[in-house]
Amino acid sequence: MGKLAIYPGTFDPITNGHIDIVIRGSKIFDEIIIAVGENPHKKTLFSHNERVELVKEVVDQLGFSNITADHFSGLLADYMRRKKAIAVIRGLRALSDFEYEFQLALANRKIYPQFETVFLMPSEQFIYLSSSMVKEIAQNGGDISQFVPPVVEEALYKKFGRAK
């Protein structure tokens, strides 16, 4: 068994920034699971099942044999333990991301001492990119083709009742 990392997130929706991070991670780890989290306290545009399906479609289109998609609910540390992962991958765009992610990493390490977090910076063109921003642009009829894969672009426009 190789080195497995988990790339968790809400992925509402998955963006080219997320894809950039997972591709970077695939150069470090033998296998990566993009774990789509279910958080009942977070209001999402896409249902949990829709988000999982979108991520699976994107992963299939990427064509990387070492990247898979899955879903999880509950504690990330428990999921990581079940999957026998050695690390969690998190993307950092700005200092504000670091503060939140640092607290999360330390809390997870308290729950599961073997919990390691690897922080990766996205490519410069994705530093500003967020799922929230993409949703807002799509909702207002803007062009999101440079921010998300075509399958996600189509799903967003459909969700907002707009034609591409």
The residues assigned a catalytic role are: 18, 42, 93, 131
Give 3-state DSSP helix, strand, coil % of the chain, rounded to 5.
45, 20, 35
Residue in 130, 155, 127 with CA at minimum distance from that of residue 10: 130
Q: Which helix (H) or strand (E) holds 120?
A: strand 117-120
User: Would you say the C-alpha torsion 111, 122, 95, 51 has a positive or negative sign?
Assistant: negative
Long-range contacts of 93-101 (CB under 8 A, 24+ apart): 93/17, 93/121, 93/122, 93/126, 93/127, 93/128, 93/129, 93/130, 94/127
